Structure 1
Amino acid sequence: MKVVIFETDAPLPIARAKHGSYGDMFKALLQRAPSFATAGPVEYIQLHIHADKPDGDVRDFPPLEDVDAIIITGSRSNAYDTHIPWINQLTDYVKHALAEESKTRVVGICFGHQIIGRALDLQVGPNPAGWELSLTEMALTSEGETHLTTAAKEDNKLALMQFHRDIVFPPLPENVTTLAQTDVCAVQGMHRPRKLWSVQGHPEFDTEIERELLEYAAGTGMDRKIIDAAIAKLENQETRVERDRAAVADAMAAFLLE
C-alpha cells in the first residue's frame, strides 16, 4: 500500500521534539491499530506543504493511479481560502481522488476534513458558534457507532481533542454519512465506503500536544479565560483520551483496508 501524507502544518517545538512531524504522528497512530500493523508493508510519502509558505509551494503531486490513499493533516490555514495556490491545488487533487474512476482513498483530519468538504462542493467556513477547543465529547450517529467502537460504547459518546473555528456545514451528499456531532458542529466526521473518511477532531493529539497548542494560542492573544477553561478539561483525562484515540485509529485503519 502506498500512502501519501500531506503535512499541511508543523507541530510546535515540544510536540515536534517528542513525536516528529504530523506525518510521523499519523504513521504512529495507524500502527496502534492491530489490523493495520499486520496488514502488510506500507510505503509512506510525506509531502510538506503548509502554512509556512502560504502563497507558494505549488508542486507536483504523485499521480493518483500510483497512490492507494492520501491523508491530509490539520493546519492553521483556512481550507476555504481560495486565493492561496497550494490550498486550491490540494483541493483539486482531492476532488480527482474522490472521482468514481479513482482507486485512491482519502482521509482528512480537521483542515483535511474541511478540504474534503470543499472537494465535495460543500459549504466550509467559520462557525458562527466560535471555537471548539480541548477534549470534546461527541454524540455518535448510527454510522459512527459502527465505525467508532469504544470501551464504553453504551454511552454513544466519543471524545477527541478539538482545535478549530471552521466547520463543514450540512447537508452532506446522499452517499456520504455523518459519523458524529456536537451541539456546535453538526459534521464531526464523514464516511463514504472505500472513498473518504474524516474527523473534525484530532486523534493524533494527546493531552500534552493539546496543552502546548492552547498555551501558544494564549500567547497570540486568545482570551486567557477561554484557554484556562479548555486546559481544565484536560485534567485527569489521559485514560479516556488514549482509549478513544485507539478507537479512531482502528476506524481509520478499517477504512484504509476496506
Structure 2
Amino acid sequence: MVVRDLPKVRMLVLETDETLPETQKDKGHFGQVLHHHFSKAGLNHDPPLGVETDRRFVVADKGGKVPAYDEVKDYHAILMTGSCFDAHSDNPWIIELMNLLREIWLRNPQCKLSGVCFGHQLLCRLFGSAVAPEPSGKWELGHTKIDLTAVGQQLFDVPETPYVYLHQMHQDHVTSPPTPESSGGLLAKDRKVHVWGSTPHTAVQGIFIEDRVFTTQAHLAFDEDMVHREIQVRVDGGGIKDLEHANRAKETAHLKHDGDVVAAAILRFFHGEDSKAVEEAKKK
C-alpha cells in the first residue's frame, strides 16, 4: 500500500527532550519514534490513514526554541512528548510553551492537543491542575496495569476489557483533574473533563476533553530497550534510589503492552472520531 495515496493526519510533535544517545542511534529523535508508532496505527485504521509528522525541538536549555503561534497555527493535531524536566517548574521555556498552548487553545479551536508524560502534566497544568511529586517519593516504573473508566474503554475500543498495560517513567503526577473552575476561564462551565484511567500511584493517568484534548501519563511508544535505558540513566543520576523497584521494572519491560492500542486511539482522536467514546460512555 502506498502511504502517500492515503488520507493523511498531519501531526506536529513538540519535542520537550532529546532521546538518549543509544535510542537516538537506534530509533532517532522523539518525532521519529512517534512517527513510526503512529504510522503503524494508521495502516491498521479502517480505512487506512497516512501520518505526516513534523517536529519542533522546544527546549531552550538544550538549543531548542518554542515556536511562535504563527508558526504552528495551521496544525490541527499537536502532540507533546515526555521530558526529564519538571512540568511544574517555572523554567522560562516551559512558561513560554504554556503560553503557546494557551494561545493555540484560544485562537485555534480546530486544533486537537495531546501529550505524553510531561506533555500530559503540562496540559493539565494549563487548565489549573497541580503537578507534584508523589507524596512518598515513589516512582511509577515500567510495565503497569492501568484501570480504565467507561470513557477509557470506549476511547481505546476495548469495551469488554477494563484495563490496559503501558510503560511508566515518572515520579511527578497530576494530583487532580482540571475543572472549569480551575481553568481560569479556558474551559467553559459545561465543558466536561474525563479521566480515562488510574493506578494506585497516579489517579489521573490521562484526560480527555471531547474534540480538544487527549493525554496519557504512560509512554505508548516505549519498548524494552528504552525502558532499560531510561531507568538506568535515572538510577545513575540519583533520581531513582529504590534499586529493587528499578530492577523489578527492568525485569518486566519485555512484557506485552498496549502502546499500539493507545496510538490508535489518539490517531482516531486526531482524525475527529472521538465523539462516539463519550456517547457510548454515557450509556453505561
Q: Helix, strand or coil for the counterpart of 2:109?
A: coil
- Identify the residue that residue 106 of structure 1 maps to in structure 2: 113
Matched, 1:165 2:171: yes
Aligned partner letter, 2:87: A
Aligned residue number for residue 237 of structure 2: 220
Q: Does the CA contact (< 8 Å) of 1:51 and 1:76 recur in 2?
A: no
Contact 2:68 2:100 in 1 (8 A): no
Aligned residues of 2:66 and 2:96 also touching (Cα < 8 A): yes
Structure 2 gaps, min length 5: 1-8, 180-190, 273-284
Is 1:9–1:51's contact at 8 Å kept on the other side of the alignment? no
Is the CA contact (8 Å cut-off) linking 2:73 and 2:104 kept in structure 1? no
Question: In the comparison of the two structures, how many residue pairs are matched?
Answer: 248
Corresponding residue for 1:46? Answer: 55
Task: Please state how far the C-alpha of 1:35 moved relative to its aligned partner.
Answer: 2.5
Alignment of 1:141-180 (within 5 A): 141-150=149-158, 154-173=160-179, 175-180=192-197
Percent identity for Structure 1 against Structure 2: 27
Tell me the residue number matched to 1:94. 101
**How far apart are 1:32 and its partner, in Å?**
1.5
Match of 1:217, SS state, is helix
Q: Structure 1 pair 160/8, CA: closer, same or farther in 2 (3 Å)?
A: same
Q: Residue deviations 1:223-255, cap 9 Å, x none?
A: 3222212212225x1xx22xx111111101110
Aligned equivalents of 2:107 and 2:147: distance in 1? Answer: 30
Mapped contact 1:50–1:75 kept (Cα < 8 A): no
For residues 5 and 37 of structure 1, do their structure 2 counterparts lie closer, same or farther at Cα, with a shift above 3 Å needed? farther
Q: Specify which of 247, 250, 254 is matched with residue 261 of structure 2.
A: 247
Q: Deviations 1:53-112 (Å, cap 9, x if unpaired)?
A: 39x845535445311111100000011112x11101111111222338521110100000
Paired AA for residue 260 in structure 2: A
What amino acid is the match of 2:170?
Answer: H
Contact 1:30 1:36 in 2 (8 A): no
CA distance in 2, matches of 1:45, 1:246: 20
Which of residues 212, 216, 222 in structure 2 aligns to 1:199?
216
1:127 deviates by 1.7
**1:118 pairs with one of 111, 116, 125:** 125
2:53 and 2:65 mapped to 1: Cα distance?
Answer: 20
2:41 aligned with 1:35 = no
Q: RMSD between aligned alpha carbons?
A: 2.2
Flag the structure with larger Rg. Answer: 2
Tell me, yes or no, if structure 1 residue 76 matches structure 2 residue 84: yes
1:187 pairs with one of 166, 189, 204: 204
Task: Give the whole-Å Cα distance in 1 for the aligned partners of 2:18 and 2:47.
Answer: 25
Query: Which residue number corresponds to residue 136 of structure 1?
Result: 144
- Please report the TM-score for the alignment, with normalisation by the length of structure 2: 0.80
* Cα gap change, 1:100 to 1:195, in 2 (>3 Å): farther
The aligned counterpart of 2:270 is 256
**What is the rounded CA distance, in whole Å, between the counterparts of 1:37 and 1:96 in structure 2?**
33
- Deviation digits for residues 17-65 of structure 1, max 9, x if unmatched? 111111111111111212288335x5432111237539x8455354453
Q: Which residue is equivalent to 2:281?
A: none
Structure 1 Cα separation of the partners of residues 67 and 157 of structure 2: 38
- Partner residue of 1:232? 251
